[in-house]
Amino acid sequence: MKIVIVGGGIIGAALAQTLQSSGAQVTVFEGAPGATHASFGWVNASFYLNNDHFALRAAGINAWGRLGTHVDWTGCLCWEEQGAAFDAQRDQLSSLGYASEEVSPAQFALLEPHVAPQHALRFKQEGIAEPVKTTERLMRGIKRVSGVQVLGLSARAGVITGIETAQGHVPADRVIVAAGIGSTALLDSVGVSLPMLKRPGLMMRTAPVPPILRHVLVAPGQELRQDAHGHIWAPTVANHQSDETTKVTTRPDLLADAALARIQTLFPDHPLTWDRVTLTQRPVPQDGLPVIGACGPKGLHVAVMHSGVTLAAIAAELLAPQVLDQPLSNAQTALVAPFGPDRFQSA
């Protein structure tokens, strides 16, 4: 079976690896760097929109282990909420069966000796999948076409036949659209609707410093983590996970300065400077929830969501069998059912 995946981010890469491991012939058409290249990289289920979304994200954590690709399970220390809201977050996650540990300032100081002690929640099961590195690992052995614009999809008699490029038609038995914000126009070419929200995001990176951070930190108004090269990564906007900004109107360098100032308060003994800030458009469907499944002409599938880093492995597990005409288990069917693309199609 010949499968074309449009989109070379972490979602497309996980799908490509999963499908090729099952014996399919996979080619990925990748465009310009998208959201993956400016992702925070946090694998978690402590942020979610509803119970179905929580279940998918929690399954996403486990799916990364089955995919066999490196995730650094650093754990997360979270004190974004304070007072009664802190207790409510702890109790809600506990009611969902999500493992968390309440840590005192003294315990926090042992876990993060370079950070001012905090009363926090600890999520040991969370971690970091370095977005670009992980994508490249998943793409090993996969045929990739770069720099070729995909103009649209092609179908005949209600069956997908491939994709259209400026250089001509590329035939395929199955097509998967995993092109982030570019997915809407591609799907529209065969009459499939995928409305998206405008959700720009800015990611800041500091110049490298010696190791001063072991966990993902979710402080009031700021998320941050440190990579193996010493860079500290942080969204420039407060409350990144629930950010609903539709337009960036402030200069990115000034937003990076403000984020750095917030971070610096956590590390008063370690002067920091930033060396890069990147603007991207996050792929957020209209209702904020992932889109995973078959749509439009037979043989066409879609996988578009935020956050792709958390959900790439589970999206691949749930979509690959559908692409290969294999049955899902009852548990898989229940997990993916709320996220089908049919919810955006008019009656």
Expressed as residue numbers, the domain containing 25 is 2-38+133-196+286-344
**What domain count does the chain have?**
2
Please check whether residues 145 and 26 belong to one and the same domain. yes
- From CA 228, how far away is CA 263, in angstroms rounded? 18
Is residue 317 within 8 Å of residue 63, measured between CB atoms? yes
Residue 76 has what pLDDT?
A: 98
Please check whether residues 95 and 216 belong to one and the same domain. yes
Please check whether residues 192 and 238 belong to one and the same domain. no
Q: What count of other Cβ atoms lies within 10 Å of the Cβ of residue 242?
A: 11
Please check whether residues 144 and 164 belong to one and the same domain. yes
Last residue of a domain, one of 256, 281, 306: 281
Token digits for 70? 């490196």
Token digits for 340? 């089908």
Last residue of a domain, one of 251, 281, 311: 281
Q: Is residue 61 part of a domain?
A: no
Q: Is residue 50 part of a domain?
A: no
Q: Is residue 85 part of a domain?
A: yes
**Whole-Å CA distances, 251 to 197, 212, 247:** 22, 29, 12
Per-residue pLDDT of the chain (347 residues; tens, 9 = 90+): 999 999 999 999 999 999 999 999 999 999 988 899 999 999 999 999 999 999 999 999 999 989 877 899 999 999 999 999 999 999 999 999 999 999 999 999 999 999 999 999 999 999 999 999 999 999 999 999 999 999 999 999 999 999 999 999 999 999 999 999 999 999 999 999 999 999 999 999 999 999 999 999 999 989 999 999 999 999 998 655 556 778 888 999 999 999 999 999 999 999 999 999 999 999 999 999 999 999 999 999 999 999 999 999 999 999 999 999 999 999 999 999 999 999 999 75
| CATH, residue 85 | 3.30.9.10
Token digits for 91? 């109790």
Contacts of 12 (CB under 8 A, 6+ apart): 5, 6, 28, 30, 176, 178, 179, 303
Q: Is residue 65 part of a domain?
A: no
**Whole-Å CA distances, 209 to 41, 227, 229, 232:** 19, 10, 8, 8
Please check whether residues 238 and 209 belong to one and the same domain. yes
Residue 239 has what pLDDT?
A: 57
Residue 240 has what pLDDT?
A: 55
Residue 247 has what pLDDT?
A: 87
Last residue of a domain, one of 254, 281, 308: 281
Please check whether residues 205 and 192 belong to one and the same domain. no
Q: Is residue 315 part of a domain?
A: yes
Is residue 162 within 8 Å of residue 4, measured between CB atoms? yes
Q: What is the pLDDT of residues 214-248, one digit of tens each?
A: 999 999 989 999 999 999 999 998 655 556 778 88
Please check whether residues 183 and 303 belong to one and the same domain. yes
Q: Helix, strand, or coil here: 242?
A: helix
Please check whether residues 275 and 212 belong to one and the same domain. yes
DSSP string, 15-77: HHHHHHHTT-EEEEEE-S--GGGG---EE-SSS-SSHHHHHHHHHHHHHHHHHT---B---EE
Token pair 């996650």 is found at 93
Q: Is residue 44 part of a domain?
A: no
Q: Is residue 251 part of a domain?
A: yes
Q: Is residue 172 part of a domain?
A: yes
Cα-based angle 52, 200, 129 (whole degrees, multiple of 5): 60
Residue 245 has what pLDDT?
A: 78
Please check whether residues 256 and 242 belong to one and the same domain. yes
Residue 276 has what pLDDT?
A: 97
Please check whether residues 207 and 240 belong to one and the same domain. yes
Maximum CA extent, the chain: 67
Is residue 49 within 8 Å of residue 311, measured between CB atoms? no
Please check whether residues 262 and 304 belong to one and the same domain. no
Q: Helix, strand, or coil here: 124?
A: coil
Between strands 200-206 and 232-235, the pairing is antiparallel
| CATH, residue 162 | 3.50.50.60
Side-by-side strand order, sheet with 168-171: 150-156, 159-165, 168-171
Please check whether residues 186 and 295 belong to one and the same domain. yes
Phi, psi of 233 (to 5 degrees): -105, 140
Residue 242 has what pLDDT?
A: 57
- From CA 292, how far away is CA 81, in angstroms rounded? 31
Q: Helix, strand, or coil here: 171?
A: strand
Q: CA 319, 322, 328, 332: dihedral to nearest 10 degrees?
A: 20
